[in-house]
Amino acid sequence: MKRSIFLLSMFGASILYAQENDSIQKEEQINLQEVSITEKLPFTVQKISGKDLKKRNLGQDIPTLLNTATSVSITSDAGTGIGYSSIKIRGLNEQSINVTLNGIPLNNPESQGVFWVNMPDLASSTNSMLIQRGVGTSSNGMASFGASVNIDSQNPSTVPFAEANISFGSFNTSKYTVQAGTGKILNNKLSIDGRVSKLDSDGYVNRSWSDLISYDVTALYELNDKTKFRFQNMFGKEQTYQAWSGVDAETLRTNRRYNPEGEIKDDDGNVVGFYKNHTDNYQQNHYFLSWLQDYGNNWKSNLTVHYTKGKGFYESYKNARDLTRYKLNALSPDPKNLINREYLDNDFYGFNLEVENQKLNDFKVFFGLSANEYDGDHYGNVLWVKDTDWNNKDFKYYDNRAVKKQLAAYAKVLYQLNSFEFFGDVQYRYVNYDAYYLSNGENNLEDFRPFKDTFNFINPKAGINYKLNEKNTFYASYGVSQREPLRVDYQNNGIKPKAEFLQDYELGYKMVGRFSMNVNLYYMDYRNQLVPTGRLNEVGTPIRENSGESFRRGVELDASYQIIPNRFSVFGNLTLSQNKHKNFKEEVWDAEGNSSIKEYGKTTIAMSPDAISAFGFEVYPTKKLLINFTNKYVGQQYLANTEPADGKLSDFLVSDLLIRYAPNWFNLKKLEFSLLVNNIFDVKYESNGYYYEGGNYFPQAGINVLGGISIRL
């Protein structure tokens, strides 16, 4: 702790962050110029280049690769950044972050979560990522409720190539990636790229292994200078051992790598072994077809139709379960050990249309229209019941379906007047949600109740830039966002949840050059914010409830300085914030089972650190050798909204060292060797948790190493 405070105070005198120079060739992008314009709007934006992502891409998930971005904190169930990982921005997790791939929503429509484990090695197919903090501008995804992340995938190479990336490391981690491209063929009209990746890891937490496979095929057909078609098929398949429960405080002290998932207990409750197939199994196949058209007179459009098929299950060993819940009480009146599977089988499909004109008199205008539907089936089977002859694996003890239909439209306008730029944006969203039992699928003992809900949201936004000169810009913005509850919000609290409402105020200053800096003040004012209670449901999803009025406010600083241009730079960022309920209330029960409302007054929102920082340096001793040293600090976090003394995550400071060497050997187009030492000072820390009869924690790995080689022909 003392070392953390010392280093943080040292950093306070030189708040620096590396802002990547954009070297992407815009003419090769299928996206409209709205993406590049977003960087210049009066909102809080940070761009991460594909080059920067690939520096550290030795198998870890996207959240880990974004760990040094401003206001970002991450966690990993397995403790290594491989498998189930998640990201928070300003204390808000993926359920409040609008994530899109080339403008297509990646958030699951029911949970609003983003399951990076279903998209292994996505970084290898990424051209750049754009992070908007706060409400940001409208897009065709869900409503941003704290931040947006737009992933721009790579277009096919214009020249033929073949590349292999191999890495190995601690906890039996391995990653194999092969990529190849045809270059331009068929009279220079068609180009195709493909990638296949295989990742494996045992994980830091006991039995938290991952077995991941993915591929990506992208084809670009240029009919002429005005018309282009782009097809992408992205597939991911994962099998991971469940590590969703964490450990209590006592186990954390005595056996921090222990994993209670899969325990097999005898009749006396003693653990006698672990079930080897206590796993999560899922595969997801994305299809995107885009038509990009230039109509002349500066009018352009991009129409994308998309379809995603997802199906999977998690298989679990349950101890001493009442068979009534599984509709099997006729087998035995006594609790029994059993093995069950819970399935999700879903289809997501729709279209996105974007139209723009950047030279309409003195205006730049952008329009968007999207419609999509999600059909998700949820059902469960019992595979085995101890001491019985049960063998009907097709019997469904629950069976329900959710249908979610969404329609969204937006219009944006940018007007420049001398040194001022004025921006306006309005979005309309329609949501129709219907969840119901299928035939013979009713089960009142499951965490599901049928519901119907419809929402109509109008989300306006406005902002202004004042460009003092080419290097200095001041900006201010205001935005409104409204969002529907999640599926689990209807199930977990017994009362109908309310839609969330957010007003976001941003004020900032940007300076570019050899010394670059961005200072931003924000105030996010919530009504009926759905916040984590600190409890998890059976599959590890946070249980949330409306909190009345709450706010998040803070200051964000990031900067970089090239001490020796292109050879030696220092960088860093710092976020200081307050995240509060104005008057938190919750329902409590006495010993007789009577409920009442308890008021706690002003409390800290659970899982919201008040300080986040990343800082370090990057040096090229020679043109072929890179050394990058990065530190990450995350402040204390409460596990529940009541600020329990026995339920909080301690602050931590973790340091990583990256070394890359790129010799010119064998006339190869590229040859690189990489060494990444994570948590080089072997700090013991926990990055996530929940509160149930005391704190429960997810420990992260101590010092661990990844090494790799990349060859391009």
The pLDDT confidence band at residue 541, using thresholds 50, 70 and 90, is low
Dist. CA 110–CA 376, nearest whole Å? 8
For residue range 482-520, what is the model confidence (pLDDT) as tens digits?
A: 999 988 888 765 678 899 999 999 999 999 999 999 999
For residue 91, give its domain range.
Answer: 2-712
- Lookup: tokens for 73: 């904190």
Contact 111, 146 (CB under 8 A): no
63 φ/ψ angles, rounded to the nearest 5 degrees: -55, -40
Evaluate whether 95 touches 225 at the Cβ level (below 8 Å): no
pLDDT computed for residue 587 by the predictor: 72
pLDDT on residue 494: 63
**pLDDT score of 13:** 38
Q: What is the average pLDDT score of the chain?
A: 91
For 580-636, the pLDDT digits (tens) are 999 988 777 777 777 788 889 999 999 999 999 999 999 999 999 999 999 999 999
What integer pLDDT is reported at residue 174 of this predicted model? Answer: 98
Instruction: Identify any residues that bridge with 78 across adjacent strands, giving them in sequence order.
Output: none
686 neighbors 699 (Cβ within 8 angstroms): yes
Q: What pLDDT does residue 24 have?
A: 31
- Do the Cβ atoms of 595 and 588 come closer than 8 Å? yes
Q: How many Cβ atoms from other residues are within 10 Å of residue 653's Cβ?
A: 19
The mean per-residue pLDDT over the stretch 196-212 comes to 98
CA distances to 26, 58, 462, 477, 512 from 518, rounded to whole Å, are: 24, 30, 20, 15, 9
Q: What is the mean pLDDT of residues 227-248?
A: 98
Residue 22's pLDDT band (cuts 50, 70, 90): very low
- What tens digit of pLDDT does each residue of 292-335 get? 999 999 999 999 999 999 999 999 999 999 999 999 999 999 99
26-57 pLDDT, tens digit per residue, is 334 444 655 556 777 888 999 999 889 998 99
Specify the pLDDT at position 17: 35
Nearest to 149 by CA among 42, 38, 51, 60: 38
Closest CA to 128 of 105, 154, 159: 154
Q: CATH no. for residue 445?
A: 2.40.170.20
Whole-prediction pTM: 0.92
User: 44-100 pLDDT, tens per residue?
Assistant: 999 999 889 998 999 999 999 999 999 999 999 999 999 999 999 999 999 899 999
What's the confidence (pLDDT) of residue 537? Answer: 63
| Selected residue with higher pLDDT from 55 and 655 | 655
Task: Look at the chain and count its residues.
Answer: 713
**Which amino acid appears at position 353 of this protein?**
L
| DSSP collapsed to 3 states, 152-216 | EECCCCCCEEEEEEEEEECCCEEEEEEEEEECCECCCCEEEEEEEEEEEECCCCCCCCEEEEEEE
Instruction: List pLDDT tens digits, range 247-279.
Output: 999 999 999 999 999 999 999 999 999 999 999
Residues 6 or more apart whose CB falls under 8 angstroms from that of 662 comprise 624, 625, 626, 670, 671, 672, 673
Confidence band, pLDDT 50/70/90 cuts, at residue 542: low
CA distance to 258, 634, 648, 706, per residue, from 703 (Å): 18, 18, 23, 11
Label residue 532 by pLDDT band (50, 70, 90): low
Average pLDDT over residues 277-293: 98
625-653: pLDDT as tens digits:
999 999 999 999 999 999 999 999 999 99
For residue range 187-196, what is the model confidence (pLDDT) as tens digits?
999 999 999 9
pLDDT grade, residue 445 (50/70/90)?
A: confident
Q: What is the number of structural domains in the chain? A: 1
Average pLDDT over residues 419-439: 96
H-helix or E-strand spanning residue 62? helix 62-65
In the predicted structure, residue 156 carries a pLDDT above the cut 90: yes
Torsion, CA 142, CA 143, CA 146, CA 150, rounded to 10: 50
DSSP state of 390: -
Is the distance from CB of 678 to CB of 701 less than 8 angstroms? Answer: yes
Strand 247-248 relative to strand 227-241: parallel, antiparallel, unpaired?
A: unpaired
Q: Phi and psi for 623 in degrees, rounded to 5? A: -65, -20
pLDDT value of position 7: 44
Per DSSP, the residues of 203-259 read -SSTT--EEEEEEEEEEEEE-SSSEEEEEEEEEEEEEEE---S-EEHHHHHH-TT--
